[in-house]
Amino acid sequence: MATPYTRARPRSEATLRAEALLGRYPNLSEQELAELINLFPTLSILDRALMTADSSLSGKLDAFDGDHGRKLKAPLSSLLVFLAVPVTFALVTFLFLLG
């Protein structure tokens, strides 16, 4: 039995558009596919989770991720730069505390 969920805020236009495109996947034009690929990184984690939990979208989302998942992930260089700041801060703090 599914638990009903009341959204705290309405869905954004980007989320509504992504859901509409995903609902028609894989029958999308090249332009629509490019739009969906560009929209996906802008969606909130909550919106993506709700799409995953939606039985009408979950299978298409899985297929979309399987076909285009590499285009949706952050590049390794971006992740390394993102992690470099806290690691550098921790290292400087550690060296400062040592003496």
Q: What is the pLDDT of residues 64-88, one digit of tens each?
A: 989 988 877 766 776 777 788 888 9
Other CB atoms within 10 A of residue 19 CB = 20
Q: List, in order, residues 6 or more apart from 17 with CB less than 8 Å away.
A: 35, 39
pLDDT over 80 (residue 91): yes
For residue 49, what are the domain limits?
A: 13-73
In a domain, 93, yes or no: no
Cα–Cα distance for residue pair 90/39, rounded to 1 Å: 35
Contact 21, 36 (CB under 8 A): yes
Number of domains the chain is built from: 1
More confident residue, 9 or 98: 98
Q: Residue 40: its pLDDT value, please?
A: 87
In a domain, 23, yes or no: yes
Cα–Cα distance for residue pair 10/65, rounded to 1 Å: 25
- Residue whose pair of structure tokens reads 């009408």 in the numeric block: 56
